Structure 1
Amino acid sequence: MLVLQAVLMGLAVLLVQIGGLSIDVIRYHAEGSGELPELPFGFMFPEAWSPMHQVTAIASAMIFVAIIRATLNFAYAIVAGTLVHHRIVVDLRSEVYAKLQRMSIRFYTDQPAGTIINRVTGDVQATRMFIDGVLIQLSILAMSLVVYLTFMLRIDVGLTVVCLITTPVIWFLSIRFANLVRPMFDESRQRVDEMVLRVAESVEGITVIKALGRQDAEIERFARANDAVQAQQCTVFVRIARFNATIQFLTQVNLVVLLVYGGYLTSIDRLPLGTGLIVFAGLLQQFSNQVSNLSGLAGTIQQSLTGARRVFEILDAPEEVTQCVDPYRPESITGEIRLNGVWFDYSPEQPILRDINLHVRPGQRIAILGSVGAGKSTLLHLIPRFFDPTCGLIEIDGVDVRRWHLKTLRRGVAMVLQEPLLLSNTIGANIAFGNPNATHEQVRMAARLASAHEFIEALPNRYDTMLGEYGMSLSGGQRQRLALARALLTDPAVLLLDDPVSAVDPETEHEMMEAFTAASVGRTTLIVANRLSTLRSADRVIVLEKGEIVQSGTHDQLMRQAGVYQRVAHSQGIEIPL
């Protein structure tokens, strides 16, 4: 690219020189005095050529050079577009998205959804602007200034120095402007983040918004965020426009100096008209245009640096959960789980889990009871290494989970969330999401095991039925069954169920529990639950309170102990044994 740009600059200078030569040739023949100007590269006109032949030859040369320059300009545009838009942007966006997939759940709790979306889309484009509009343009700017300055010095050193007297002022103003607008562009990107977040929240919560009749309020809320972006960008644009006008004025001052001093040199025959004053004017105009581009470049640098910084904050962010050098990859998993002295916190002042000690034998079914914020979901998330504990040890089959191969661990530990995520795809594809190579019969078998086959077969297109976003066309119980089928298709040794029946009616809960009971046969199962109907069927129940295990035992044992379990049973109308 830089080679092509250097050739284009050389051709531009050549065009200016040929144009100046044509003026000197015409002047020579018009005045009939002096010497015929020398041609570039030592060429000479044949003696038999008339003045018209000479001028025609010069014009033909200009057309020939212009055609070559246009062709190379086209080639440069294709090369630059392919490199920047087709390779750099696509590869960078893919790299950012891949890094996001490797980040721990903690990263997503600290970053708003709008910020993450904006960094993958808008900030990657801003980074492209840094490469295309800053790095490449700065290289071109430096190259062109050297080329044009060299040719101007060859024509007349004194004239060059006088005509470029405003250049130091322009550089000083550009540096000052860049420092001024940098924080303004940072604030602009933050306001765009807030606007994108408003859209993401309203789309995800549209049912609640409509149910509460808050459409007008949300429109006004978005309008405020949108107006804040507009106001900030208008402030930036005013500063940029003012700076551009100042730089353009200073570059025009150079042309005024040229006309005064250069005209004087021409009048006393110290500077030729065509190959001297005219060529110098063309070079100075090109030089001034490049300097004027500096004004736009100063704003582009700050805007693109803001986006690039935000992109590389993700790319350079440490990965909290990483895989060891020689990971443990067993052929099979028995499902024994042991937690020894496990602590976890998002901040040292507020630990979520405190000194958890738990041993789950292979195939055992453990229920976890606790109030909101007790640490139930966090406990489940530690087992497949969504987080690493602050201190303590978590082992599966006697091996520290930090030594496990991550994909092997997570294929052997399946999880069904309280709010299952379904994709905009067919039912069959959603079930096969964790095992895309599964056969149709394997998908159907997993659906049967999850008690989902019957309602799927009742749909018009059965397993080929397309689901809308998040599977909102299905009921809560149906979505949970599909999520369970998806988890079972990987044939996990450990099944984690995060309060999967909290939002369903009693009849659906009964059907779901039958499905979960069937699915848990032969698998180590941990289920978060608050209903006694679920808890009493577990082999053992542990009760969490403020991140600590305060009770542990079977349903019958805990019903005879004063404590949290008895209070929960009493609140659900269960008679406490004497």
Structure 2
Amino acid sequence: MAEPPPAASSATPPLSNGVLVRRLFGLAWKYRFHCIGVLSLQVVLLSIGIAGLSFTGLGIDYIRSRVEGVPLGENVLGLVPPPDWSPLRVLGALACAILLFAVTRAFLNYFYSVSANKLVQQKIVTDLRAQVYDKLQRLSFRFFDANNTGSIITRVTGDVQAVRMFIDSVLIQSVIMLISLTVYVVYMVNLNVRLTLVCLATTPLLAVASTWFSKKMQPEYKLNRTLFERMVQALSESIQGIAVTKGFGREAEDRERFNRANRAVYEQQRGIFWRVSLFSPTIGALTRVNMLVLLGYGGWLVIHGQLPLGTGLIVFAGLLEQFSGQVNSVAWLVNSVQQSLIGARRVFEILDSPVEVESAPDAVRCGRLRGAVRFDAVSFAYTGINPVLRDIDLDVAPGQCVAILGETGAGKSVLMSLVPRFFDPTLGRVLIDGLDARDLHLDDLRRNIGLVFQESFLFSNTVAANIAFGHPDATMEQIEKAAKIAAAHDFITALPQGYDTVLGESGSGLSGGQRQRLAIARAVLLEPAILLLDDPTAAIDSETEHEIFEALDRAIAGRTTFIVAHRLSTLRRADFIIVMEHGRIVQRGTHAELMRQSGPYSRVAQLQLIDGAALQNEGRAK
């Protein structure tokens, strides 16, 4: 209903990466027991993997001892085959143990995947998306006027997934990586300290390279989200404006506009992938140097009898391979960190947005209101500069109908928006039955107010559900009564399934007059004390206007009504009229009184009378 304000910048500065990480850790802490369960499974998997590798090394050493006569020696796990067992029995036992480890690990890997998916997808993503949507429902119109539809949709969908990525791909995987690397290093140190130090000498270079790459990529991911958002916005506007596009034959230009946005996302993502693809093998090359060192120095130790082949070199090689694999994932981890931080920042911007209009802690609960409305020295500005309303004083008694006339931008819709508290006055008060609207419970206040917009939105649901939208518990008798008041019952019963007919998006398939009558029925069903009508006949023809007025006359009866109007046929129905210019009331009175005054009202009326007379003469001439 409110006229769109200028786009507002965010009231709070962007969150730093440190603050974001702390808040993400705080979010994960809510699911700590699930996280601990997932991590415990990973520790068990890690232990089984090392055990399987150790048994493999033991088997190699045992075979070598039997073939070459080399002493079996000691190993880290302290495992020694019983001396009275035959070689076949020992190897069979080792093979069975390795197979058991493999089967157990496969089963636990499946269980780990299911548990991690349940935690991340079903718990974190679902809860966070619901939290963001709940916050959106409580934000004022100012937020939606300052943020386009594409941006909001992207944040609720893709950016929430980015938060999931942090907890799943960054937090949990980082802890798993830390545990794994610690276990691998400890095990390798127990095998041979000097060999461990030599093989891991390049690790500090990996940390430096990863830090540099992370800082380098952060702006790229931020730009990527912006470009993706523009693409979604282009798609949204294209779908919403498809009639205009086809009407002006602009399909080719519209396709090119979307393709440009789509290509911009692709080309920017390709640059990101190219950098990540270059960084990943660079890290891999550094880790492969470790394997060369192992083959050279580790082989020398085996030849000189200072390190066993199986439980020493082979196990060490397996551990180093696992270590290198974990380190190689640093590139992927850095990639995930940057994506998740950019997305998390955008999600938290919604969660941190101030709720400008809400019920006070001690708000007054009210039932049925009488409908007395008073604007007491009300001024309003969107940003604190250039007031949209200035010093409005207006008293409307219960049951009165006041019409509001004014040019575009005069402040008509904003004035009405203050009644249901879509916005709160910057200065002054709006009193309902003598109480400041800010002191009334918001839900109770709005349940006493019916709304009919210039272009009423209908949901993809049944006719009955659309009428009962504000009162979902309404009986069929109440729904039909409201439809009859709105002069909608006859055309509804003529629909294929009557009140159970499912409407298309935005009420497609219905005429403008039919949609307006359903909107009136929806407002009337609440039995509101106050009715707000924002130019409900502006976009319909004169014949349909007559039908709408019949419905409006019944709807208005006994209710305090504000109606934005420009046609004399509407203005004459009001008990009194106010004329607005530049946010001020410049005239007020009945139609007859204002016609006797020189001013904007009489000028508008005279023009309409002249146009009407001209049309009548043209009709008689034909």
Contact 1:541 1:552 in 2 (8 A): yes
Deviation, structure 1 residue 349: 3.0
Contact 1:495 1:523 in 2 (8 A): yes
Of 261, 269, 284 in structure 1, the residue corresponding to residue 297 of structure 2 is: 261
Of 496, 499, 505 in structure 2, the residue corresponding to residue 469 of structure 1 is: 505
Paired with 1:45 and 1:230, the residues of 2 have a C-alpha distance of: 60
SS at match of 1:320: coil
Deviation, structure 1 residue 331: 2.3
SS at match of 1:49: coil
Contact 2:76 2:191 in 1 (8 A): no
- Which amino acid in the other structure matches residue 557 of structure 1? E
Aligned to 2:69: 32
Query: Would the alpha carbon gap of residues 264 and 38 (structure 1) be closer, same or farther in structure 2, given more than 3 Å must change?
Result: closer
Aligned to 1:12: 49
Q: Would you say how many aligned residue pairs link Structure 1 and Structure 2? A: 575
Aligned to 2:359: 323
Does residue 130 (structure 1) correspond to residue 166 (structure 2)? The answer is yes
Deviation, structure 1 residue 350: 2.4
Does residue 537 (structure 1) correspond to residue 573 (structure 2)? The answer is yes
Of 434, 448, 459 in structure 2, the residue corresponding to residue 423 of structure 1 is: 459
Does residue 219 (structure 1) correspond to residue 255 (structure 2)? The answer is yes
Does residue 202 (structure 1) correspond to residue 225 (structure 2)? The answer is no
Aligned to 2:602: 566
Aligned to 1:296: 332
Deviations 1:358-414 (A, max 9, x none): 111111100000001111111111110111111211111111111111111111011
Aligned to 2:132: 96
Aligned to 1:22: 59
Paired with 1:125 and 1:402, the residues of 2 have a C-alpha distance of: 37
Query: Would the alpha carbon gap of residues 210 and 482 (structure 1) be closer, same or farther in structure 2, given more than 3 Å must change?
Result: same
SS at match of 2:387: strand
Paired with 2:70 and 2:367, the residues of 1 have a C-alpha distance of: 98
Does residue 406 (structure 1) correspond to residue 442 (structure 2)? The answer is yes
Does residue 186 (structure 1) correspond to residue 219 (structure 2)? The answer is no
1:357-376 alignment runs, 5 A limit: 357-376=393-412
SS at match of 2:381: strand
Of 59, 71, 79 in structure 1, the residue corresponding to residue 107 of structure 2 is: 71
Deviation, structure 1 residue 48: 2.8
Does residue 446 (structure 1) correspond to residue 482 (structure 2)? The answer is yes
Deviations 1:125-166 (A, max 9, x none): 121111111111111111111111111111111111111111
- Which amino acid in the other structure matches residue 488 of structure 1? V
Of 228, 249, 253 in structure 1, the residue corresponding to residue 285 of structure 2 is: 249
- Give the TM-score normalised by structure 2: 0.91
Deviation, structure 1 residue 38: 4.5
Contact 1:434 1:490 in 2 (8 A): yes
SS at match of 2:527: coil
Does residue 507 (structure 1) correspond to residue 543 (structure 2)? The answer is yes
Contact 2:75 2:311 in 1 (8 A): no
Deviations 1:143-191 (A, max 9, x none): 1111111111111111111111111111111011111111110110111
Deviation, structure 1 residue 347: 2.4
Aligned to 1:344: 380
Contact 2:64 2:70 in 1 (8 A): no
- Which amino acid in the other structure matches residue 508 of structure 1? T
Query: Would the alpha carbon gap of residues 354 and 107 (structure 1) be closer, same or farther in structure 2, given more than 3 Å must change?
Result: same
Does residue 378 (structure 1) correspond to residue 414 (structure 2)? The answer is yes
Q: Which moved more, 1:495-504 or 1:458-467?
A: 458-467
Q: Which moved more, 1:228-237 or 1:261-270?
A: 261-270
Deviation, structure 1 residue 537: 1.4
Contact 1:420 1:483 in 2 (8 A): yes
Aligned to 1:274: 310
1:481-500 alignment runs, 5 A limit: 481-500=517-536
SS at match of 1:356: strand
- Which amino acid in the other structure matches residue 173 of structure 1? A
Paired with 1:331 and 1:174, the residues of 2 have a C-alpha distance of: 62
Deviation, structure 1 residue 41: 5.5
Aligned to 1:140: 176
Paired with 1:128 and 1:41, the residues of 2 have a C-alpha distance of: 39
Identical amino acids, percent of aligned pairs: 53
Of 515, 519, 526 in structure 2, the residue corresponding to residue 479 of structure 1 is: 515
1:115-126 alignment runs, 5 A limit: 115-126=151-162
Does residue 175 (structure 1) correspond to residue 180 (structure 2)? The answer is no
Of 39, 42, 45 in structure 2, the residue corresponding to residue 2 of structure 1 is: 39
Paired with 2:66 and 2:148, the residues of 1 have a C-alpha distance of: 75
Paired with 1:381 and 1:37, the residues of 2 have a C-alpha distance of: 86
Paired with 1:399 and 1:139, the residues of 2 have a C-alpha distance of: 57
- Which amino acid in the other structure matches residue 18 of structure 1? F
SS at match of 2:563: strand
Q: What CA RMSD, in Å, does the superposition of the two structures yield over aligned residues?
A: 1.4
Does residue 526 (structure 1) correspond to residue 574 (structure 2)? The answer is no
Unmatched runs of 5 consecutive residues or more in structure 2: 1-37, 612-622
Deviation, structure 1 residue 7: 1.1
1:76-87 alignment runs, 5 A limit: 76-87=112-123
Paired with 1:44 and 1:27, the residues of 2 have a C-alpha distance of: 14
Query: Would the alpha carbon gap of residues 40 and 248 (structure 1) be closer, same or farther in structure 2, given more than 3 Å must change?
Result: closer
Of 578, 582, 586 in structure 2, the residue corresponding to residue 550 of structure 1 is: 586
Aligned to 1:149: 185
SS at match of 1:301: helix
Query: Would the alpha carbon gap of residues 574 and 515 (structure 1) be closer, same or farther in structure 2, given more than 3 Å must change?
Result: farther
Paired with 1:46 and 1:497, the residues of 2 have a C-alpha distance of: 93
Does residue 457 (structure 1) correspond to residue 493 (structure 2)? The answer is yes
Moved beyond 2 Å, runs of 4+? 36-48, 347-350
Paired with 2:372 and 2:53, the residues of 1 have a C-alpha distance of: 82
Paired with 2:489 and 2:552, the residues of 1 have a C-alpha distance of: 14
Deviation, structure 1 residue 499: 0.3
Contact 1:21 1:37 in 2 (8 A): no
Deviation, structure 1 residue 50: 1.4
Deviation, structure 1 residue 87: 1.5
Unmatched runs of 5 consecutive residues or more in structure 1: none
Paired with 1:41 and 1:288, the residues of 2 have a C-alpha distance of: 23
- Give the TM-score normalised by structure 1: 0.98
Aligned to 1:57: 93
- Which amino acid in the other structure matches residue 54 of structure 2? Q
Paired with 1:466 and 1:53, the residues of 2 have a C-alpha distance of: 74
Paired with 1:166 and 1:44, the residues of 2 have a C-alpha distance of: 35
Deviation, structure 1 residue 37: 3.9
SS at match of 1:341: strand
SS at match of 1:95: helix
Paired with 2:578 and 2:79, the residues of 1 have a C-alpha distance of: 97
Contact 1:340 1:358 in 2 (8 A): yes
SS at match of 1:232: helix
Contact 1:417 1:498 in 2 (8 A): yes
Deviation, structure 1 residue 39: 6.9
